[in-house]
Structure 1
Amino acid sequence: MDWVRGDALGRGSFATVSLAIPTTNPNQFPSLTAVKSAEAQTSCWLRNEKHVLDRLGSSSPRIIRCFGDDCSFENGVEYYNLFLEYAAGGSLADELKNHDGQISEHEAREYTRAIVEGLSHVHKSGFVHCDIKLQNILVFGDGGIKIADFGLAREAGQKQEKSECRGTPMFMSPEQATGGECESPADIWALGCTIVEMVTGKPAWQVEKGASMWSLLLRIGVGEEVPEIPNNLSEDGKDFIEKCFIKDPKKRWSAEMLLKHPFLINDGTVPFKRVHESPRSHFDFPDWVSSVTNSLPSSPEFQDKWDFDDGFCSPEDRLRQLLTVNRPASWSESDGWSSVR
């Protein structure tokens, strides 16, 4: 497609998003198409997004569509460009601002159902998103939402390099914080953090101003602390989030299980009776403490690889080692994207 770059929509750490205006064959793509661009030599995350979206296909209405890619030369610089659906409503982070910082439980339920449907498709297709958060859920003109930003996504079960960990620290699961493990349960934990932020307008983890990223990872990965469940939710809503915040990834509910949870099935008029007796099925597992791993946490925002002794030690020891490493303390819930709409 011959096209020219239109108005900028947003900028991030690895790419910029603009409108793509076709100059020939305008029927090839929708009249409004977004183009996500990065300099060719630093476009690995964007090329990974293209690969994942191609594998996911267009069969799920909850996954953003990709229309192709190309390379361009602009002002002497080569860019890799990815053409995607244009989301007129921005992201769920924008939607939260439009609702004065708090989304009602009824709307949050509808958004959550759509996200879980998308995650179910991603996980069934053999992938993990690795960066679920409000900024990566796009809102379209009809009010529908789709999961986007698959740059950090990976194939499930794929061997990881030591110390590799993908995602945004505020949304990391215990297994990511202690060992860098990012499989489908990590997306479910991040979903829980996303719901909490939707209904409260605040991050799931409350941290003091000036606190280090490592102190947050220590809280996430060690011990039994989990984010606080919002009091303004129904019993169904509270129970749903608790199923996302089970610390042992093996016992955390899957997307398929969550689709059958009363929070997504009920319309809010029929209360869900919570079970407090002994478990009778795999739906009743308690919040077990996460298992020990011998990998190390890091953030995709920091591309350096850290070398540590290969000897086995507990997550507590590993994280205490990290506290002595002088690294940039950039761990906010945002990955640096700024809206320029």
Structure 2
Amino acid sequence: MDWIRGEKLGHGSFATVNLALAKKQSTQHPPLMAVKTCGISHSSSLVNEKLILEELKDCPEIINCYGESFSCENGEKLYNVLLEYASGGALSEKLKNSDDRGLPENEVRQYTKALLKGLNFIHKFGYVHCDIKLQNILLTPNGGLKIADFGLAKRVGSENGSGFDLRGTPLYMSPEMVAGGKQGTPADIWALGCVVAEMVAGAPAWRCDDVAGLLMRIGVGDAVPEIPGNLSEEGKDFLEKCFVKDPSKRWTAEMLLNHSFLFNDGLDFEMKESCESNSPRCPFDFPDWVSSSVACSITSLPSSEYSEEPPSLRSQRRSTSPAERLRGIVGDQELNWSASGDWVNIR
């Protein structure tokens, strides 16, 4: 595939990420992509990431991979992996723009559910991501979520036994990782809990500036990350299941997908109370229904939540016309692609 390198999007410890524009249109890849690049001499991690992404290609919550290429730029031989471009940016940037107030709980719930679906898929294929954090969670224009950066990912149980292998970012590391270098699928769940707590509070779950002191708190004793006080009781219970010190007793991604925190219908307490008070309690308790004055409308909910709405509301939704329901689901949002004038030809 011939493509053109565009503006720089970001960089890590061994690779940089740029926009990439395909020279020819194809049904196999979009016209605008992201390209992750590193020197060939340091490409083993990026090669591993590309192989893992190809194996996990069928999950909508994981960034897509469109192949690899080699190039020579400024006298240096480079290895490139072409990836899906998530134009919404990293979740860390969205949280940063919230002025440290955190995200609304309904939004946190939506992202948490999508993240769990991706993690469940990764774990079922026998992999551990090893670096779940806000910076590695990307957003799409339609509100979707993509797990990215599999540079540290590994097979479950692939410890080589030759030394202490400390992987990940300290703020999101699990106790078993810090204390013994063990990183199975429960480590990703601990990191997920840190991400959820951070989304709610607008600040990291651990309040510690000293890395050595932080690692001591994580690996030794009974301390766990702080659970935000403004979180619902269901949310607090969800985080308690993530922050179990013993990895064998920590809930799995599959278990957490069935937690009540993820099945809130999105209505605030007053609206729910109003809906319940208007529901008939017996055959003689039906009011004079008028289709144009539904007490509680469901058309404002995303279509993905329709299957989760309570039965008492489903009958009210049917009283709304199909046209009105479609207007509530379909928006006129357009993709906002930005172009750079600094392009470099790659063959």
TM normalised by structure 2 equals 0.75
Whether 1:194 and 2:195 are equivalent positions in the alignment is: yes
What is the Cα deviation at residue 270 of structure 1?
9.6
Larger radius of gyration: 2
What is the Cα deviation at residue 11 of structure 1?
1.5
Equivalent residue, structure 2, for 1:226: 224
Structure 1 letter corresponding to 2:15: A
Per-residue CA deviation, residues 104-138 of structure 1 (Å, 9 max, x unaligned), is 11100000000000000000011000000100000
Per-residue CA deviation, residues 173-224 of structure 1 (Å, 9 max, x unaligned), is 000000111100000000010111111111111014xx2x222111001110
Structure-2 change in CA distance of 1:25 and 1:269 (3 Å): closer
What is the Cα deviation at residue 268 of structure 1?
5.6
In 2, Cα distance between equivalents of 1:239 and 1:203:
19
In 1, Cα distance between equivalents of 2:267 and 2:225:
26
Of 159-168 and 241-250, the range deviating more from structure 2 = 159-168
Of 197-206 and 157-166, the range deviating more from structure 2 = 157-166
Equivalent residue, structure 1, for 2:249: 251
What is the Cα deviation at residue 265 of structure 1?
1.7
In 2, Cα distance between equivalents of 1:148 and 1:27:
23
Equivalent residue, structure 2, for 1:214: 212
Equivalent residue, structure 2, for 1:48: 48
Instruction: Say whether the 8 Å CA contact 2:130–2:183 is kept in structure 1.
Output: yes
Structure 2 letter corresponding to 1:114: A
What is the Cα deviation at residue 98 of structure 1?
2.9
In 1, Cα distance between equivalents of 2:31 and 2:262:
34
Equivalent residue, structure 1, for 2:92: 93
Structure 2 letter corresponding to 1:251: K
Gaps of 5+ in 1: 272-340
Structure-2 change in CA distance of 1:270 and 1:4 (3 Å): closer
- Counterpart secondary structure, 1:33: strand
The structure with the greater share of residues assigned to helix is 2
In 2, Cα distance between equivalents of 1:9 and 1:96:
18
Runs of 4+ that moved beyond 4 A? 25-28, 268-271
Compute the RMSD of aligned alpha carbons. Answer: 1.6
Say which structure, 1 or 2, has more relative contact order (CA 8 Å, 6+ apart).
Answer: 1
Structure 1 letter corresponding to 2:39: E
Structure 2 letter corresponding to 1:121: F
Map 1:256-335 onto structure 2 (within 5 A): 256-267=254-265
Gaps of 5+ in 2: 270-339, 341-347
Equivalent residue, structure 2, for 1:153: 153
Instruction: Say whether the 8 Å CA contact 2:62–2:147 is kept in structure 1.
Output: yes
- From 217, 236, 239, the equivalent of 2:237 is 239
Whether 1:16 and 2:16 are equivalent positions in the alignment is: yes
Per-residue CA deviation, residues 153-186 of structure 1 (Å, 9 max, x unaligned), is 0001113342012110111000000011110000
In 1, Cα distance between equivalents of 2:218 and 2:54:
34
Equivalent residue, structure 2, for 1:167: 168
Per-residue CA deviation, residues 226-259 of structure 1 (Å, 9 max, x unaligned), is 0111000000000001100000000000000000
Equivalent residue, structure 1, for 2:125: 125
Equivalent residue, structure 2, for 1:104: 104
In 2, Cα distance between equivalents of 1:43 and 1:270:
50
In 2, Cα distance between equivalents of 1:77 and 1:119:
36
What is the Cα deviation at residue 97 of structure 1?
2.1
Per-residue CA deviation, residues 60-110 of structure 1 (Å, 9 max, x unaligned), is 111111000011100110111000000111010111123223111110000
In 1, Cα distance between equivalents of 2:12 and 2:151:
12
Structure-2 change in CA distance of 1:42 and 1:26 (3 Å): same
What is the Cα deviation at residue 4 of structure 1?
1.7
In 1, Cα distance between equivalents of 2:53 and 2:167:
18
Per-residue CA deviation, residues 264-312 of structure 1 (Å, 9 max, x unaligned), is 12236699xxxxxxxxxxxxxxxxxxxxxxxxxxxxxxxxxxxxxxxxx
In 1, Cα distance between equivalents of 2:22 and 2:146:
24
